[in-house]
Chain A
Amino acid sequence: MLRLALTKGRIEKSALQYLAKAGYDVSELDEEKKGRKLLFKVGNDIEVVLAKAADVITYVEHGVCDGGIVGEDTIMEANASIYELLDLEFGKCRFALAGIKGKNFYDGYGHKIVASKYPHVTKEYFDSKGIDVEVVKIEGSVELAPILKLSDAIVDIVETGSTLKANGLEVYEDVADISARFIANISRIKMKKKEFDTLIRALSGVVESERALNKEKSNV
C-alpha cells in the first residue's frame, strides 16, 4: 500500500486522469462522490490524500505520505529533502523575471528590489547569477509591486503572459521551467521499492503515450 499526497485543484484533476489512464480506479475521487473527505482509496494498492501544494511536500518529507504529485514551483520554493522521480509533463508553465515594459532591470548600480510569492526561488536565482538583490515577499497579485514602485521587478509564474501585458509589464527573462512532478520520501521508497516500481512504470507509460499524442496533434 502506498499513500500519496495530491495537490488539490488543477494538478489533482490531471493527476487523477493520469492515474486512471495507468489503470487505477479513481472513482472515489469523483467530484459528486468526494464530499468533504480527505482520504481516498485508489484501487487496492494506493491511498490518496488531498492537500495544498506546500503541504504535499511537508507530508512527503516527513514520510507520513510515501510520495506525492506537486508542481515544480512549490518544490523549488520548499528546498526539502525528497526525491523528484518523474516529470509528469502536465501543468506546464515557467518562472520568469518581469517588470515595467521597456525598462532594463540590470541598468544602473542602484539597490534592486524584487517582489515575489517565491522568495527562496528568487534569492537562489540571483545568488546563482552572483547578483545581490533585496527580495520582498508578496502574497498575491505580485504584478502590483512594480506598478506601485515597491520593486524593480517580480519573479512569478507565467503561463500565457496576458496578465503581465494587461498591466503594462513584460517578461525580462525566463528563470525556470515548471511542470508537475512525482516526488517520493527518501526512506519510504527504499522500504517499499516494489510498490514504487509498479507505480512509476505505470505513470511513465502514461507520460510517454501523452507525449506521443501531443506530438501527433501538433503535427496535424
Chain B
Amino acid sequence: MSGNNRNIPSGTRDIMFEEADLFRSLEVRLTELYTKRGFSEIMTPAIEYYDVFETGSTMAQEEMYKFTSPEGRLLVLRADNTTPIARAVASRLSEHIPTKLFYHQKVYRLSYGNKGRKSEISQSGVEILGYGGIQSDLICLITAIETLSKISEDYKLELGHVGFFNALISDCGLCEEEAAKIRRLVERKDVNKILGLDVIKKIPFLFGGKEVFKDAEKLATGNEKAMHALSYLKKLYEILCDAGYEDKIMIDLGIVHSLDYYTGCVFRGYMDGAGEPVLAGGRYDTLISKFASDIPATGFGVNISEIAETLIRKNSPEKKRFHTLIAFDEKSFNSALKFLEDTEGAVLSHIGGEKENIAYAKKEGFSRLIMFEKGEKKTIDIK
C-alpha cells in the first residue's frame, strides 16, 4: 500500500550493530564507575501518571506523550528521569536516606516540525539524596567529571549557581512575569532585548575561567545573597582545582534554565564535537518535598544518544571481528560446539550448506570457514 507500515515516528531510530555496541559499552563503562563509587541502580516504570510530572517537572505538557489508563487517568511516557525517581524516593525510600542512585533509562519527548530533534533519548545519570551540604555537591561534581572522562578526552565541566541570578534579579523589583522574561533572555545570552538593568545585562557574559569571579564580585557587591552564592561556588571551584581539574572546569553564571527547579550549584558538561551539552545537573532541594517528603538532593543526567552520535561522527567504531566461521550439519553439532569452545574469535554459522556458508563468510569478512559434515572437519580459506 502506501509504505507507511515501514516508517518509524520522527525523532526515533533503529540502533544496531556497531552503534548498538557503542550505546551498550557506554552504559557498561558508566555502570562500572557508578557501582564502584557506591551508587545503586534504580529502574522506574516507562509510564507514570501525569500528576507525577505535573508536580515535579518543569517540562511543558505539550512535550509529553500522553494517553489514558483503563480507569481514565492521564498517563505520560517517561518524560524525564529525575521526576519519577523523586516520586519513588518520596514514597519508598524516605527511611533509607541518605543514599546514592544511578539509572540508564530512555526518556520520550514530542518533537515536531522536522527540526532533527530526538523524541526518544537514552539517558544515564545519578541522584545523590538526603544531604544538602558541600560533601554531596563535591561527590556529584567529581562523579560528573569522571563520567565525562570515561566518554571523551576533550571535555569541560561548567559550574554555575542559581542563587547568584535569583538574588540579583530580586533586587530589580520586577513582577514575576517580567522577571521570567528577563530570565529567558539571559538563558539565550540575548542582552540586546534587556532594557536598562545594567547589572543583569552583564550576567550572560560571566563565563570562562577563574577571572569570572572578580567581575562577578563587582556585580554582587552589596547583595549578601548573591555574594553568598558566589563564595560557595568559588569554594567548590577551588577544591576541584586543588584536586587537579583546573583545565577541565569553567564557570558560567548565566546558566539560568529551570530556575524554579534548581536551588543551588548547577552544572553542564560539554564534549568536543557535540552540538549540545552532553551532561546537565545541579542541586534540587525542593523537588522531593513536592511529593511530601523533605529530602535535599543533587544529581545529573547524561545524554547517551548525543554522545554516541558524536563519537560515531568523529570516528566510526570498529565492528566486532570474528575471523572463523563454523558451519555444521545435524550430525556434527557436538563437534562444532567443542571446536567453538576451544577457538578464539570463532562463531557458529546459523545457515547450512557449504556454498551458502562460503558466500556468507565472504560477505561478512571471515578469513576461514570450518565445515563439520557427518562428523568430518574441513577447513576452507576465504579470500
A interface residues (Cβ-Cβ under 8 A, vs B): 58, 61-64, 80-87, 181, 185-188, 190-191, 193
What is the chain B residue whose CB lies nearest that of A85?
B189
B interface residues (Cβ-Cβ under 8 A, vs A): 115-116, 154, 156, 158, 188-190, 192, 207-208, 250, 252, 268, 270-278
Contact, CB under 8 Å: B275 / A63 = yes
- Which residues from A are CB-within-8-Å of B189? 83-85
Contact, CB under 8 Å: B275 / A64 = yes
- Knowing A62-B116, A187-B270 touch, does A193 contact B276 (C-beta < 8 A)? no
- Which residues from A are CB-within-8-Å of B250? 190, 193
Q: How far is the CA of A82 from the CA of B277 in the complex (A)?
A: 12
Q: How far is the CA of A64 from the CA of B275 in the complex (A)?
A: 7
Contact, CB under 8 Å: B192 / A191 = no
Q: How far is the CA of A188 from the CA of B276 in the complex (A)?
A: 8
Main secondary structure of the interface of A (DSSP, over half): mixed
Contact, CB under 8 Å: B192 / A186 = no
- Which residues from A are CB-within-8-Å of B273? 63
Closest-CB distance, B33 to chain A (whole angstroms): 23
Q: How far is the CA of A86 from the CA of B189 in the complex (A)?
A: 9
New contact pairs (16) apart from A85-B189, A181-B192, A190-B158, CB-CB < 8 Å: A61-B115, A63-B274, A63-B275, A63-B276, A80-B115, A83-B190, A84-B189, A84-B190, A185-B275, A185-B276, A186-B276, A190-B156, A190-B250, A190-B252, A190-B268, A191-B270
Closest-CB distance, B200 to chain A (whole angstroms): 15
Main secondary structure of the interface of B (DSSP, over half): loop
Q: List 28 A-B contacts (CB under 8 A).
A: A58-B116, A61-B115, A61-B275, A62-B275, A63-B276, A64-B275, A82-B188, A83-B188, A83-B190, A84-B188, A86-B192, A87-B192, A181-B192, A186-B277, A187-B270, A187-B275, A187-B276, A187-B277, A187-B278, A190-B156, A190-B158, A190-B207, A190-B250, A190-B252, A190-B270, A191-B156, A191-B270, A191-B271
Q: How far is the CA of A181 from the CA of B271 in the complex (A)?
A: 26
- Knowing A58-B115, A58-B116, A62-B116 touch, does A187 contact B274 (C-beta < 8 A)? yes
What is the chain A residue whose CB lies nearest that of B116?
A62
Q: How far is the CA of A85 from the CA of B272 in the complex (A)?
A: 21
Q: How far is the CA of A174 from the CA of B201 in the complex (A)?
A: 24
What is the chain B residue whose CB lies nearest that of A72?
B192
Task: Choose among B115, B271, B273 the residue with the greatest number of A CB atoms under 10 Å from its CB.
Answer: B115
Q: How far is the CA of A81 from the CA of B268 in the complex (A)?
A: 15
Closest-CB distance, A53 to chain B (whole angstroms): 15
- Which residues from B are CB-within-8-Å of A61? 115, 275
What is the chain A residue whose CB lies nearest that of B157?
A190
- Which residues from B are CB-within-8-Å of A181? 192
Q: How far is the CA of A128 from the CA of B140 in the complex (A)?
A: 39
Q: How far is the CA of A61 from the CA of B111 in the complex (A)?
A: 15
- Which residues from A are CB-within-8-Å of B274? 63, 187
Q: How far is the CA of A84 from the CA of B254 in the complex (A)?
A: 13
Q: How far is the CA of A148 from the CA of B208 in the complex (A)?
A: 55
- Which residues from A are CB-within-8-Å of B276? 63, 81, 185-187
Q: How far is the CA of A58 from the CA of B114 in the complex (A)?
A: 10
Nearest 10 A-B pairs (CB), nearest first? A63-B275, A84-B190, A87-B192, A83-B189, A62-B275, A190-B270, A187-B270, A84-B188, A187-B276, A191-B270
What is the chain B residue whose CB lies nearest that of A78?
B115
Closest-CB distance, B159 to chain A (whole angstroms): 12
Contact, CB under 8 Å: A193 / B208 = yes
Contact, CB under 8 Å: B190 / A191 = no
What is the chain A residue whose CB lies nearest that of B313?
A64
- Which residues from B are CB-within-8-Å of A193? 207-208, 250
Closest-CB distance, B178 to chain A (whole angstroms): 12
- Which residues from A are CB-within-8-Å of B156? 190-191
Q: How far is the CA of A141 from the CA of B353 in the complex (A)?
A: 68
Closest-CB distance, B86 to chain A (whole angstroms): 24
Contact, CB under 8 Å: B272 / A191 = yes
Contact, CB under 8 Å: A188 / B192 = no
Q: How far is the CA of A83 from the CA of B273 in the complex (A)?
A: 17
Q: How far is the CA of A190 from the CA of B160 in the complex (A)?
A: 13
- Which residues from A are CB-within-8-Å of B116? 58, 62
Q: How far is the CA of A50 from the CA of B94 in the complex (A)?
A: 56
Q: How far is the CA of A37 from the CA of B316 in the complex (A)?
A: 28
What is the chain A residue whose CB lies nearest that of B189?
A83
Task: Choose among B190, B273, B278 the residue with the greatest number of A CB atoms under 10 Å from its CB.
Answer: B190
What is the chain B residue whose CB lies nearest that of A184?
B189
Q: How far is the CA of A211 from the CA of B377 in the complex (A)?
A: 85
- Which residues from B are CB-within-8-Å of A87? 192
- Which residues from B are CB-within-8-Å of A187? 270, 274-278
Closest-CB distance, A123 to chain B (whole angstroms): 12
What is the chain B residue whose CB lies nearest that of A80?
B115
- Which residues from A are CB-within-8-Å of B158? 190
What is the chain A residue whose CB lies nearest that of B272?
A191
Q: How far is the CA of A143 from the CA of B366 in the complex (A)?
A: 67
What is the chain A residue whose CB lies nearest that of B257?
A81
